[in-house]
Amino acid sequence: MHAATSSHPKRILSPQGEQRARGHNFLTLQMASATLLKSSFLPRKSEWFNARPSSSSQPMAVSFTVRAGAYTDELVKTAKTIASPGRGILAMDESNATCGKRLASIGLENTEANRQAYRTLLISAPGLGQYISGAILFEETLYQSTTDGKKMVDVLVSQNIMPGIKVDKGLVPLTGSNDESWCQGLDGLASRCAAYYQQGARFAKWRTVVSIPNGPSALAVKEAAWGLARYAAIAQDNGLVPIVEPEILLDGDHGIERTFEVAQKVWAEVFFYMAENNVMYEGILLKPSMVTPGAECKERATPEQVAEYTLKLLHRRIPPAVPGIMFLSGGQSEVEATLNLNAMNQSPSPWHVSFSYARALQNTCLKTWGGRPENVKAAQDILLIRAKANSLAQLGKYTGEGESAEAKEGMYVKNYSY
Ligand code: 13P
C-alpha cells in the first residue's frame, strides 16, 4: 500500500504514495505518535526533494515544485466538489465559548453533551447533502461522535458533505494598531493540518477581521493578509483546501462606498501575499463579506445594490482561477443573506458564487430546537428550509416567498466573535 520505504532512498514516489508518506511523516515527527504507523514507511525528509525523476537532459525540479504539487489534483477536486451547483457550506465551527453563547440564548448550559446534541441535530438532517457540500467544524466536533455513537465525520461523509475544520486560534489585540486585532494560529499549523487530514478533514478555515471604524490601519490590513497567505500555503501543503476569510466587519456607520474601498484594499493585499507564498489559486475558496453599508448607516442598500458593489469588487480583485466564493452572513438576517446571494446569481460569474453561513443557516433552527428532544425534527426541517433557500439563491432562483418573520430578523451583534 505504501510506495515509499526508507530502505529505498532513491525510490520515486507516486503522488499518492508521496502524499500519504508526507502526511504520516508530519504526524510521526511532530505528534510523536508511534502508534499511527511504522517508521519504516517513511521517506527521509530529504527524499521529498528527490521525488521527481531526474534525467541528464532535464533539470532537477526545485524543491518548491515538488512540495507544493503533492496534493495538487486532490485540492482542485476538493475545491470543485465544494463549489458544486446548488450547494454551499454550513459553517458550524463556533468555538466552545461562542457555542456557549448560542446555547445560553435558548437556556442551555455550555456542556460538551449539549454541544454534541446540537451538532448531531445539524449534521443528521435528512438529505442535507443535497444543498450542503461542506461543513466547517470546530476541533471538538471533528473528533466527536454523535449522540448515537457514530463518528460525526462519518455521518457527514454518508450525507455527501465534506468535513472541514477551523484552524485559526482566534483574534487578539494587535499591538501598535488603532485598537485592531490579528489572528493567531500559525505556530504548529502544519502538524495540526496533517492530523486533521488524517481525521478526515479536507478543507480548512481561517477567519481574520478588519474593522472599518478603527481604520483600518495599513498595519492591520497587512497583518491580516500575510497571516491568511501563510495559512493558505500551509493548509495546501497538507492536503486541506484553505478557505480564505478576511471578514470586513459590519460595525460602523459608513456607507457602502467606504466598504467597497476598504474591501478593494484588503483583497489586493491578500492576493499579493498569496502569490508571494506560492498559493495555488485553483485549490482555494474565498469567504468574503458582502459589500454592504455599515450596520449603523442610515442608508440601507437593496439586494441589487449589494450585488452590484460586491460583484464589481470580485471582478476587480479575484482571478477566475479561484473556483468558489462562499460568502459569510456576518449578522445579516437569514432572509437578507439569501436575497443578497440570489441577486448576485442573476448573471453568470467566472466563479461559483455561494454561501458559507453560520448564523444565517442556524438561527431559526436553534430557536426551534430550544434544547428539547421532541423538537429535533422540527428544527431539522427549518435547517433544510434555509439550506434549500440558499441552494436556490446559488442558482439565482430564490423568490423570498413564504418566509417567516423570524427568518427576517437581523442578527447583527457589535464586536461579534467566533
Ligand atoms: P456568519 O455567517 O455567522 O457570519 O459566520 C461566518 C463564519 O465565519 C463562520 O465560519
Residue 207 Cβ contacting ligand 1 at under 6 Å: yes
Query: What pLDDT digit, counting tens, does each position of 249-290 carry?
Result: 999 999 999 999 999 999 999 999 999 999 999 999 999 999
Residues tagged active-site:
245, 287
- Is the pLDDT higher at 259 or at 27? 259
Best residue among 286, 336, 359, 386 to mutate for probing ligand 1's pocket (most ligand atoms within 8 Å of CB) is 359
Residue 356 has pLDDT above 60, yes or no: yes
Q: Categorize the per-residue pLDDT at 189 as very low, low, confident or very high, splitting at 50, 70 and 90.
A: very high
Question: Which own/partner contact pairs does 173-178 have at CB distance under 8 Å and 24+ positions apart?
Answer: 174/219, 174/220, 174/223, 176/219, 177/214, 177/215, 177/217, 177/219, 177/220, 178/214, 178/215, 178/217, 178/220
Ligand 1 centroid from CA 131, angstroms: 17
pLDDT value at residue 43 = 37
Q: Give backbone dihedrals phi and psi of 377, rounded to 5 degrees, phi first.
A: -65, -45
pLDDT band at 212 (very low <50, low <70, confident <90, very high): very high
Exposure string over 216-233, b if 16+ CB within 10 A, otherwise e: bbebbbebbbbbbbbbbb
Local structure of residue 253 (DSSP, 8 states): S
Among 105, 132, 327, 328, name the best residue to mutate to test ligand 1's pocket (greatest count of ligand atoms within 8 A of Cβ).
Answer: 328
Within 10 angstroms of residue 272's Cβ, the number of other Cβ atoms is 14
Q: What's the pLDDT score for residue 406? A: 76
Q: For residue 166, what are the β-bridge partners?
A: 205
- Which residues lie closer than 8 Å to 149 by C-beta, 6 or more apart? none
- Cβ of 329 closer than 6 Å to ligand 1, yes or no, is yes
How far apart are alpha carbons 237 and 230 in whole angstroms? 11
pLDDT band at 402 (very low <50, low <70, confident <90, very high): confident
CB 184, CB 169: distance < 8 Å: yes
The arithmetic mean of pLDDT across residues 346-367, rounded, is 97
CA of 260 to the centre of ligand 1 (A): 20
Residue of 102, 206, 207, 340 best suited for mutating to test ligand 1, as the one with most atoms within 8 Å of CB: 207
User: How far, in Å, is the centroid of ligand 1 from the Cα of 41?
Assistant: 40
Q: Average pLDDT for residues 221-231, to the nearest whole number?
A: 98
Q: What is the pLDDT of residue 409?
A: 74
CA–CA gap between residue 295 and residue 251 (Å, rounded): 6
- What DSSP assignment string belongs to 198-211? HTT--EEEEEEEE-
Of 5-14, 202-211, 273-282, the poorest mean pLDDT is in 5-14
Q: Global pTM?
A: 0.83
**Residue 360 CB less than 6 A away from ligand 1:** yes
Type of residue numbered 202: R
Summarize the confidence of residues 284-302 as an average pLDDT. 96
Question: In percent, how much of the chain has pLDDT > 90?
Answer: 78
Helix spans in 301-401 (H):
303-317, 334-344, 359-369, 376-394
Helix (H, G, I), strand (E, B) or coil at 127: coil
Residue 355's SS3 state is strand
To which H or E segment does residue 325 belong?
strand 324-327
Ligand 1 atom closest to the CA of 328, numbered from 1: 2
pLDDT at 344: 98
Task: Report the nearest-CA residue for atom 5 of ligand 1.
Answer: 358
| pLDDT score for 417 | 61
Would you say residue 229 has pLDDT above 70? yes
pLDDT tens-place string over residues 28-79: 334 433 333 333 333 343 333 333 334 444 555 544 444 457 899 999 999 9
CA pair distance 180, 215, nearest whole angstrom? 8
CA 76 – ligand 1 centroid, Å: 24
pLDDT for 128: 98
Q: 136 or 402: whose pLDDT is higher?
A: 136
Q: How far is the CA of 91 from the centre of ligand 1 (A)?
A: 6
What does the block give as the cell for 264? 478593494
Q: Is the CB of 358 under 6 A from ligand 1?
A: yes
- Candidates 292, 398, 310; CA nearest to 351 is 310
Index of the ligand 1 atom closest to the CA of residue 93: 10
Q: Is the pLDDT of residue 378 over 90?
A: yes
- For residue 216, whether the previous peptide bond is cis, meaning omega lies within 30 degrees of 0, is yes
Closest CA to 119 of 97, 136, 104: 136
- The answer to whether residue 7 scores a pLDDT higher than 50 is no
315: CB partners within 8 A, 6+ apart: none
Cell digits of residue 42:
517513511
> Is the minimum distance from the CB of 220 to ligand 1 under 6 angstroms?
no
Residue 411: which pLDDT band, with cuts at 50, 70 and 90? Answer: low
Expressed in angstroms and rounded, the spacing between residue 360 Cα and the centre of ligand 1 is: 8
